[in-house]
Every structure is written in structure tokens, then in C-alpha cells.
Structure 1
Amino acid sequence: MKKFLSLFMAMFLVLALAACGTNGKEEEGTATEGNGGEEEVTELTMGFIPSQEADQIADNVKPLEDYLTAELGVPVKAEIMIDFVGLVEGMRTGQIDIGFTNPFGYVQAVDRANVEVLVKAIRHGSDTYKAQFIARADSGLTSVEDLVAKEGLTWAYGDTLSTSGFLFPASKLMDMGVEDLNTFFTQTAVGGHDNAVLSVLEGQADFATTFDDARTVLEKDHPNVMEEVVVIGHTDPIPNDGVSVREGLSDEMKNKIKEAFLAINDKPEVLSVMNEVYTWDGIAEATDEEYDIVREVYAKFKDQLEE
């Protein structure tokens, strides 16, 4: 009897381990193991995080889906994520193959999911950008010094995991003397850079922090936003956001993805999609070392953000 139970348990463990080794994407039929032992991709999913209304992004990226599908030879679909945490987790579990990662999201994704950055954005001829502090023109707030001199202000930002929306501005505020951000300001995460600008415009927040210049996203619906909401300061330069891929894709597929994105520079109709969604004017190759400055800022908040 004991021998029978031992044999039964051994067989059970083998089956259980085999089941645990099954990848979710494989179950869906999007990735299988080829004859050479490498993963054979039959579908790719791109993960986006909101910089504007999610349904608007979904509509705008359709031409990019079509372009990449043609270039890569497999169906490519877009998925709008709720936040950066969801994107990182999606890449870790293999549900997201290609991620549009902001600088901090990329650093976190490397730590948690061993992703690899392929390309980065070019804006206004530069591969770096700054975060901006904004306030209403009639608020009396004219500098970052004004913010640290007046406790109790309401601060709006898109997401605590946003590089330009929170991390670099928070680091600057701390360097300027704010010891406890949580008690000094009333913080409100509003889910996107456009919403942060809107919070200031409508008087729901005293100031906001966004990428430079997120106000332009609202110009179509709010023509006076550039006059009513003003920039009162900037952070140090930040490496631009980029496109990363999950662990497990073959070198051949990663190279195809990289080359497809770089080729967008010569395709104005597709580049206009990147500009519409994330204000990209061009695309350049990226390396992991460029994001070391982001790692330094992340180190200040790592314990807090991983609670």
C-alpha cells in the first residue's frame, strides 16, 4: 500500500509540475515551441499605458497594429493597460510581448521581468525630456520654490509610478527640502497626464506634474489651456520613454521588432500615430545604460513603491 501511495504521489507531482510549466500565451495558441526549441510566436500583444483617454488610444493605434502585423508577419494587437504595474506584470507573465515603457516603468520591468529596451522616442530632436510643474496662471504660484514654501497644496499627477508625473518631480521637491511628501502635500493620482493638466485647469488641484508639454494634449478641447495653465518649473533631464520586449522572444524576433520600429522614421503616416499617442517625432535605438539616472531616482522610492 505504501509503495502504491508513493508511486501515486510521484506521478501526481510530475503532472503538477508539467501543468505549472505551461505558459498562459501557449494555452491561447499565441506562442509555441518550434522544432529548434525556440519559442515560435504566432501573435504579439502591445501594451500601452494611458497618456490620454484609453478608448482614444485604442482607436489611434490601429494603423500601428496594421503596420507591425505586415512587417513582422504575425498578428499584432494593442491592449490598453490600467497602469504601469499592470504593464510590468503583463510582460512578466508573457501576456504582453511589446511594452511602451516610460523610463521608470522600464527600470522596474527590468528588475521584475528582465525585459529589454529596443528603441526610444525622439521629441523636438532630443532623446531626453524634462518633467514640468504647472499651476493656474491666476494662482499666485510662479516657481517650484513657491510650492515648497506653502504646505497643504493639492498636487495632481497621473500615477505614482510615472517618471515625469511623479518620481522626478518628487525627487526634486525632496532635494529642495520637503521631508515628507505625504504629509506636506495633498496628493491625488488622476490616471493620466491630460487629467493632471485638467485638474489644475478646473481648479481641482493647486499644481500638477507632467511631461513637457502635456498641456498641448488638451488644446483641441480647451483652446485657452496654454494661457490659463502655466509652467512654473522643470526637473533635470530624463531619458525618453521607449519600447521594450519581454523575456523569451528570440533574437531574430527582437531584431525584427526593433528594425520595424526604426523604419517608422521613413513612414510619415505611421510616425503620425506615434505622435498622436505619445508625441513621438522620431525613433532611435536605445540601450539599458541610458536609464541609470532613473535607477538612482528610483532608489529613493523603491521601498515606498513596493509596499
Structure 2
Amino acid sequence: MRRSVFGGLCAALLLAAGWIGSSVAGDTPKRLVMAVTPSNIPTELFKAGEVFAAELAKKVGIPIKVYMPTDYLGVVEALRNRTADMAFVHPAGYVFANREAKAQIVAVDVWHGKTSYTSRFYVRKDSGLKRLEDLRGKTIAFVDPGSTSGYVYPMVMLIKKGLVKDRDPKTFFKDAMFAGTHEAALLALLNGSVDAVASFDLAPQQYLKDKAKVERIVHVAETEPIPEAGMCVREGLNPALVAKLVESLMAFNAPEYRPILKDFYGIDGFAPARDSDYDPVREAIDLLGWRPRR
């Protein structure tokens, strides 16, 4: 019963994505390259990615090499240039990868039992700042221009509330910077370098770990739900290979793989994904008027 349910789940996912029934042969590389979005400490993420890739390669039957670009949008470039065959993409990264490289989402992350999360504006608890409007004239650290929770959704919230003009954060904040990672943004807040940061809903618990540090931070605003990150594949891969990849990813939902996933992106497993799941992210990006560099 369990096997038949699992098989039906994968079949439905692939049919919805257009992989089943495709008449295009596509590429079957002798080695796959998996790009990872550098949202965590690069050295630790790369090491954990190699462990995950080695296990995934056993299931797919093809060696997998890990590639980590220097920033979020480097993943999009790798898919567009076909220097990467598949990638762990954050929501905005997937929308750009789909638009720019015709990549297709094949699985979504499950994190704390959900396939969505939110972004929050964080401040120090002793700052006296209580509302989003209180951040006027203050300094903020975003994460990366390609980060959904660390830039896109927070900026859209500011625009919709009429706090930011001409899509320029400096029309509301005294200064705005990009910290590069969620952890770096939170540390900048704690050490007083900035007055506020934008990051995802459980970022303090995930990166600070020290309860005393977590308790020094509170949030003053929260965005609408954001569809989770996931795995996408480049255009032109053999549909049979993609089907095997999806089946292999779903196999990671077994309890014995939880330590590997936790060390990698801190996720619980994978679930079926559809391109249309990311339409709210497309709308947010369009409102922001933001396009990836070329």
C-alpha cells in the first residue's frame, strides 16, 4: 500500500510538471551538477551538500557534483548556462530560474511540517521599536537581493504600506545594506551595526541557537506566507532521468535520512510541487520591478 501511494504521488507530480508523456528524449549526462543557494555559512553548507549529493547519487545512479556560486542569482546563471543540471532554489530564485532558464520545479521542501513560511522584520527587544512604521529613519540589513524572505517579500510589504517610494528602501530607512546570509544579518542586529533586519520566521532559532540571544530579538511585522524553497531542474534533461530524480528525492522522507537533511538546509523532507505554487512570488517580484542581472 505504501509503495503504491508513493508511486501515485510521484506520477501525479511528474504528470503535472509535464515530464510524463513527453516525447523529447533530452539529455542524460554522465555526471549531474547540483547548484546550491548560499543562504547559510558557505563552507558548512557545501560540506553538508556533498553528503546529501553522495546519497542522492546512489539512488539516481549517476555521480553528482556540488556547485556553490557566490550569491543567490549565481544559481540562476548556472542553470541558464547549463553549468548546473539541477539546483536547490529559494522561491524568488526559482521564479527567476523559470523565467530566465526555463527551469522547472520538481519538489518542494518540507520544513517544520509545512511547505510555506513567512518573513519578519526583527529588532532588538530593548530598542523601543514596536511597529514597522517605527523603523523610519533607522538602519536595516537585508540578506541578498535574490532572497525571498530576506528582501523581496519585506520590500513588497513596505511598498504596499506606502512606506517605501520608488522601490528604494532608502526613502524609508536611513541606510540599507545586504548582509549576504541570514546569520550575518542577525549578528549585525545583535552587535548594534543595524537597527533592524529582514529574515524568515524561524531564523533566530535556527542560526543563533543560544536562547539568551534569541530572546534579545523580537519582530515588529510579518509578511504573508511564502511557498517553500525546493529542487528544480534545467531545461532539456531526459524525462526518465527527472522521474528517477523525483523518486529519489521523495525517498529522503524516510526517517533514516533526517540527519542528512537537517545538516543540509535544516529541512524535514520533500513534497510534490507545481510551478503555479510560485505565482504569489511572481506577483511579488513584478510589484518590486526587480530583474536578475545578465
Which of residues 140, 143, 157 in structure 1 aligns to 2:142? 157
Instruction: Tell me the equivalent position of 2:40.
Output: 52
- TM value normalised by structure 1: 0.82
Q: Does 1:87 align with 2:75?
A: yes
Q: Residue 36 of structure 2 contacts residue 67 of structure 2 at CA under 8 Å; is this kept in 1? A: yes
Q: Residue 65 of structure 1 contacts residue 77 of structure 1 at CA under 8 Å; is this kept in 2? A: yes
Q: Residue 73 of structure 2 contacts residue 292 of structure 2 at CA under 8 Å; is this kept in 1? A: no
Instruction: Tell me the equivalent position of 1:295.
Output: 282
Q: Structure 2 stretches of 5 or more lacking a match?
A: 1-23
Find the aligned partners of 1:145 and 1:70 in 2 and give their Cα distance: 52
Q: Does 1:281 align with 2:271?
A: no
Q: Does 1:252 align with 2:237?
A: no
| Bigger RCO (CA 8 Å, 6+ sep) | 2
AA matched with 2:184? N
Q: Does 1:271 align with 2:252?
A: no
Find the aligned partners of 1:240 and 1:252 in 2 and give their Cα distance: 25
Give 1:5-154 correspondences, 5 Å limit.
38-147=26-135, 150=136, 152-154=137-139
Distance 1:51 1:37, change over 3 A: closer
Distance 1:38 1:278, change over 3 A: closer
Alpha-carbon shift at residue 37 of structure 1 (Å)? 6.4
Find the aligned partners of 1:240 and 1:288 in 2 and give their Cα distance: 12
SS of corresponding position for 1:61:
helix
Alpha-carbon shift at residue 80 of structure 1 (Å)? 1.5
- 1:24-67 Cα offsets, whole Å, 9 max, x none, are xxxxxxxxxxxx96423111111112222100111222321211
Alpha-carbon shift at residue 193 of structure 1 (Å)? 0.8
Aligned residues: 267
Alpha-carbon shift at residue 243 of structure 1 (Å)? 0.5
Find the aligned partners of 1:302 and 1:174 in 2 and give their Cα distance: 11
Distance 1:160 1:303, change over 3 A: closer
SS of corresponding position for 2:106:
strand
Computed over aligned residues only, the root mean square deviation of the Cα atoms, in angstroms, reads: 1.8
- 1:110-167 Cα offsets, whole Å, 9 max, x none, are 11000010000112221111011111111111232322xx2x2111121011111001
AA matched with 1:173? L
- TM value normalised by structure 2: 0.86
Q: Residue 88 of structure 1 contacts residue 113 of structure 1 at CA under 8 Å; is this kept in 2? A: yes
Q: Residue 118 of structure 1 contacts residue 287 of structure 1 at CA under 8 Å; is this kept in 2? A: yes
Q: Alignment identity in percent?
A: 32
Q: Residue 53 of structure 2 contacts residue 64 of structure 2 at CA under 8 Å; is this kept in 1? A: yes
- Give the ranges of 4+ consecutive aligned residues of structure 1 lying more than 4 Å apart after TM superposition: 303-307
Q: Residue 120 of structure 1 contacts residue 127 of structure 1 at CA under 8 Å; is this kept in 2? A: yes
AA matched with 1:145? E
Find the aligned partners of 2:249 and 2:144 in 1 and give their Cα distance: 27
Find the aligned partners of 1:100 and 1:303 in 2 and give their Cα distance: 21
Which of residues 185, 193, 210 in structure 2 aligns to 1:196? 185
Q: Does 1:232 align with 2:220?
A: yes
Q: Residue 51 of structure 1 contacts residue 277 of structure 1 at CA under 8 Å; is this kept in 2? A: no
Q: Residue 104 of structure 1 contacts residue 161 of structure 1 at CA under 8 Å; is this kept in 2? A: yes
AA matched with 2:156? S
Find the aligned partners of 2:112 and 2:47 in 1 and give their Cα distance: 25
- 1:273-295 Cα offsets, whole Å, 9 max, x none, are 22233221221010000111111
